[in-house]
Amino acid sequence: MGEKMKTKSILIIIIIGTMIFAVAAAYANEKITIVDDAKRKVEAPVRPKRIVVLNSSNMEMLYAVGGKAIGRPESTGMPKTLLNKVKNLPSVGETPNPNVEKIVSLKPDLVIGVNVSFHHQIIPPLEKAGIPVLLFSINNYEDILNKLRLFGTITGNKEKAEAVIKGIERRVAEVKNKIKNATHKESPKLVILWGSTHSFNMALPNSFVGNIVEMLGGDNIAKDIKPLNTMPQYAALSLEFVMSKDPDVILVITHGYDDKVKEKLKREIMSHPAWKEMRAVKEGRLYILPYELFGVNPAIRVADAVEHIAKIMYPKAF
């Protein structure tokens, strides 16, 4: 009787083990259809295990909701906290020029990139290798929250994603509460410059910084200017136009972290015959924005970006 019971127990264990294996195998093969920001329907695995990310912002959001990657981009815009987590992962090249051969060699089950031409170009060879690719755009505050939810869905960590979102929304609400009495009295006119002294464009309300300025009640003087064909979030700079509007605040986004470069750029603008006659320059309200928050998308640090702009627009409220 004892032997029979022992045999029966072994059989039960084998059956249960087989069932668990079958369920795990079926789960591993489960797919989810996602429409990315390039309007492509992509079949991606549920809870992918081998994700390669091609840009810093998507990497930051993936890790914020508890996801992990096996390949990372080369990026100067990656925050140190994230870089410390991923620095030992294989690099797949800079965001504008990813190395397809390296990506394929890592055998990813999902690649996440940006909805830009240089990532569209790598889709055919990756799909030929059986690797699904998702391309995302993050152009405003709501895009960040929506992508965090999507990353929560992809990784199976919806609750963690919602907790991150609530934390961001709480901080942004605190900022808005601080400035609510100032928005009508002190709402400034702004121009947002992107580039360098040799080639500036003006950021429109549909740009990331423009969206934050609009959220906070600012008046973007370029709001009605025709966008550039190649960059619909920006318009060509006209010094005559800016002089005619005489903005209260000038925001500048330029590439790189070097403080010496930033100070040089600021001096060049402030000493320019046209710029130095504007109200914003005379009153010392020309600001070079931090690259880590505005040169690249700040992802989960978006509340920091909102607070930074709010302090510039409404200094008396802080």
How much is the pTM?
0.86
Cα-Cα-Cα-Cα torsion 239, 244, 247, 252, nearest 10 degrees, comes to: -10
Q: What share of the chain has pLDDT > 90, as a percent? A: 73
Return the pLDDT at 272. 86
pLDDT tens for each residue of the chain, 318 residues long: 555 555 555 555 544 444 444 344 344 568 889 999 999 999 999 899 999 999 999 999 999 999 999 999 998 778 889 999 999 999 999 999 999 999 999 999 999 999 999 999 999 999 999 999 999 999 999 999 999 999 999 999 999 999 999 999 999 999 999 998 776 667 899 999 998 767 889 999 999 999 999 999 999 999 999 999 988 999 999 999 999 999 999 999 987 657 777 778 888 888 888 898 999 999 999 999 998 899 888 999 999 999 999 999 999 999
Q: Same fold for the domain at 30-157 and the one at 181-317?
A: yes
Return the pLDDT at 292. 86
181-317: CATH superfamily: Nitrogenase molybdenum iron protein domain (3.40.50.1980)
Return the pLDDT at 28. 52
For the chain, domain boundaries: 30-157, 181-317
Per residue in 187-196, pLDDT (tens digit) is 899 999 998 7
Return the pLDDT at 185. 65
| Sign of torsion over alpha carbons 146, 149, 155, 156 | negative
Per residue in 5-42, pLDDT (tens digit) is 555 555 555 444 444 443 443 445 688 899 999 999 99
CATH of segment(s) 30-157: 3.40.50.1980
